[in-house]
């Protein structure tokens, strides 16, 4: 089998490789992908450092053309790349094609941003002096991405990094090297100079650690678990390095008595269970007022019965497999904990078999949960959600905000008063009214508060905040 290699200083290198297995069918080997060493990471960082001076001064037309070309190729290959994504991550094919489309849109957006770089000219407080405020690239950026959005998250970190003139060392999650390799191959062939974008696939404990330990990374942008995020933060402080973290969520979806039941059920089913619940924006706490509680639980349970759990590539599948055996164990452990702590298992909870051997788990709904139970406080990252019964809107809001996290929050209501109050008073970075908490646009800020995020927002023009550094220059005229 061919080995998909790492890209270091413009050369494809690496002979150590490991198997990329499909979670829908563990007999299906997606490919052999290079496993980088700490030395590879060091060489990649050195290459990115050497490439920085020229790339940071590159013309905006060159950056525009490369990002635009990458966008066009990703879009033209969306079916093929979507199938690769579905195969290696387990997201169903339509969701996977949607994610690939989103990646193309992100590259298109930042191709445009390259043409819209601006600064400010302002008068000084003193006479005869002019002040210019400009943004400069940061330097070498380390990009560490998770497995759950194998093409969109790399796109929304790599595209702005390159657009604003930084060079990159990219380390994707171990479970999803396929999409990472494809996106780097596309950018490389689109004409990036040697060393501007380096790919080092491999273990977090080896490649990731070498990146954390490097004095030559000016910034690290990370999406993943809260635990690893903290390690990125500590190591970055040590090296005076800028860092941006997107971590966990325990997102609430409030359902009020006056909600349109169909809207509420569709939003909850989507947020809780689509993409197998493996989104940091998933809602795992369904906070429901008394008057609609029983109707909502009955309707959501009926909806869950109609969702087929099966191979991600099979037509008619609504929920693909869990990503691997480790994640499956975490999900089933939490299901046990939920039962032990007194929540009622209203639907699902079983690991199931399909024609192909994979990690299949039924969508699982708990009721009679309290907000203090572990299933309500800790991120499970699987197709598991619980219903918390509350008296009224005021209690719903208090419960929604009573969490260490603050990424996304939703409300289903037909009341303008409650929707408005919730938008203002939710302690989350993103608020959704009558919409799922997950599934965001590509051109507006993404990010959370509290333990969910640290640093400036990702995506859209707000991305400039992390990927550039401001300079203020004074000139005596
Ligand atoms: C989405 O909900 O559309 O890791 C995106 C995650 C997020 C991305 C969610 N960073 O799940």
Residue ranges with strand state E in 146-264: 167-171, 197-199, 219-223, 242-246, 251-255
- Judgement on whether residues 266 and 236 belong to the same structural domain of the protein: no
Length of the chain: 477
User: Count of domains in the chain?
Assistant: 2
Ligand 1 contacts CB of residue 438 (under 6 A): yes
Asked whether residue 93 falls in the same domain as residue 16, the answer is yes
Same domain for 429 and 469, yes or no, is no
- The domain that contains 151 carries what CATH number? 3.40.605.10
Q: Is the CB of 24 under 6 A from ligand 1?
A: no
In this structure, is residue 167 part of a structural domain?
yes
CA distances (Å), origin 241, targets 163, 170, 335, 377: 20, 17, 39, 31
Same-domain check for residues 409 and 467: no
Domain identity same for 144 and 59? yes
Q: Are residues 68 and 171 in the same domain?
A: yes
pLDDT above 90: residue 17:
yes
Cα–Cα distances in angstroms (integers) from residue 383 to residues 123, 133, 176, 434, in the given order: 56, 48, 20, 21
Establish if 36 belongs to a structural domain.
Answer: yes
> What is the residue range of 301's domain?
251-433
Is there an atom of ligand 1 within 6 Å of 103 CB? no
Residues 65 and 208 in one domain: yes
Q: Which of 100, 222, 244, 446 for a ligand 1 pocket mutation test, highest count of atoms within 8 Å of Cβ?
A: 446
Residue 1: is its pLDDT beyond 90? no
User: Hunting for tokens 């359902």 — which residue is that?
Assistant: 255
Distance, in Å, from the CA atom of 285 to the CA atom of 275, rounded to the nearest integer, reads 17
Query: Which CATH number characterizes residue 349's domain?
Result: 3.40.309.10
Closest CA to ligand 1's atom 7? 280
Q: Whose CA is nearest to atom 10 of ligand 1?
A: 280
The answer to whether residue 39 sits within a structural domain is yes
Question: Are 276 and 352 members of one domain?
Answer: yes
* Residue 279 Cβ contacting ligand 1 at under 6 Å: yes
Position 310 confidence tier, pLDDT thresholds 50, 70, 90: very high
Per-residue pLDDT band for 223 (boundaries 50, 70, 90) equals very high
What tens digit of pLDDT does each residue of 96-149 get?
A: 999 999 999 999 999 999 999 999 999 999 999 999 999 999 999 999 999 999
**Is 447 within a domain?**
no
Look at ligand 1, atom 4, and give the residue with the nearest C-alpha.
280
If asked whether residues 161 and 259 sit together in one domain, one would say no
Q: Is residue 438 assigned to a domain?
A: no
Kindly state whether residue 315 falls inside one of the protein's structural domains: yes
Q: What percent of the chain has pLDDT over 90?
A: 99
Q: How confident is the model at residue 358 (pLDDT cuts 50, 70, 90)?
A: very high
Whether residues 242 and 380 share a domain: the answer is no
- As a whole-number percent, the residues of the chain with pLDDT over 70 amount to 100
| Residue 364 shares a structural domain with residue 422 | yes
**Is residue 446 one of the residues assigned to a domain?**
no
Cα separation of 208 and 172, whole Å? 9
246 is catalytic: yes
Residue 42 lies in a domain: yes
440 lines ligand 1 (CB under 6 A): yes
- 212 and 107 in one domain? yes
Give the residue among 269, 211, 270, 221 at the shortest CA–CA distance from 242: 221
Catalytic residue among 89, 95, 246, 379: 246
Q: What is the pLDDT of residue 477?
A: 83
Average pLDDT over residues 442-449: 98
């Amino acid at each position: 089998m061919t080995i998909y290699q790492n890209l270091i200083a413009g050369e494809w290198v690496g002979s150590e490789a490991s198997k990329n297995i499909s979670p829908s069918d563990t007999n299906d080997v997606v490919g052999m992908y290079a496993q980088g060493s700490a030395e590879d990471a060091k060489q990649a960082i050195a290459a990115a450092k050497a490439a920085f001076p020229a790339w940071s001064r590159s013309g905006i037309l060159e950056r525009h053309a490369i990002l635009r070309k990458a966008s066009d190729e990703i879009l033209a290959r969306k079916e093929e790349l979507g199938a690769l994504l579905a195969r290696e991550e387990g997201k169903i094919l339509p969701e996977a094609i949607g994610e690939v489309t989103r990646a193309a849109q992100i590259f298109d957006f930042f191709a445009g941003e390259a043409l819209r770089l601006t600064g400010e000219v302002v008068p000084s407080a003193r006479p005869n002096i002019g002040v210019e405020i400009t943004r400069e690239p940061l330097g070498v950026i380390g990009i560490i991405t998770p497995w759950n959005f194998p093409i969109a998250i790399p796109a929304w970190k790599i595209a702005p990094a390159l657009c604003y003139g930084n060079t990159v060392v990219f380390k994707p999650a171990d479970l999803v090297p396929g999409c990472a390799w494809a996106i780097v191959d596309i950018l490389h062939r689109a004409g990036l100079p040697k060393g501007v974008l380096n790919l080092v696939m491999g273990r977090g404990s080896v490649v990731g650690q070498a990146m954390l330990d490097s004095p030559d990374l000016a910034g690290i942008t990370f999406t993943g678990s809260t635990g690893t995020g903290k390690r990125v933060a500590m190591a970055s402080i040590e090296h005076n390095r800028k860092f941006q973290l997107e971590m966990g969520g325990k997102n609430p979806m409030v359902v009020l008595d006056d909600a349109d039941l169909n809207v509420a059920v569709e939003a909850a089913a989507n947020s809780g269970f689509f993409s197998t619940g493996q989104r940091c924006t998933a809602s795992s706490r369904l906070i429901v007022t008394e008057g609609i509680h029983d109707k909502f639980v009955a309707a959501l349970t009926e909806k869950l019965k109609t969702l087929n759990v099966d191979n991600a590539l099979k037509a008619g599948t609504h929920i693909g497999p869990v990503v691997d055996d480790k994640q499956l164990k975490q999900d089933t452990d939490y299901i046990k904990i939920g039962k032990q702590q007194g929540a009622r298992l209203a639907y699902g909870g079983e690991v199931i078999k399909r024609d192909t051997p994979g990690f299949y788990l039924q969508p699982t709904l708990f009721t009679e949960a309290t907000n203090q139970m572990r299933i309500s406080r800790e991120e499970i990252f699987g197709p598991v959600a619980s219903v918390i019964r509350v008296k009224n809107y005021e209690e719903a809001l208090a419960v929604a905000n009573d969490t260490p996290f603050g990424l996304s929050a939703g409300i289903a209501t037909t009341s303008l008063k409650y929707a408005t109050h919730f938008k203002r008073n939710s302690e989350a970075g993103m608020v959704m009214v009558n919409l799922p908490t997950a599934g965001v646009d590509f051109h507006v800020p993404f990010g959370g508060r509290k333990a969910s995020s640290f640093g400036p927002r990702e995506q859209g023009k707000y991305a400039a905040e992390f990927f550039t550094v401001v300079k203020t220059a004074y000139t005596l005229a």
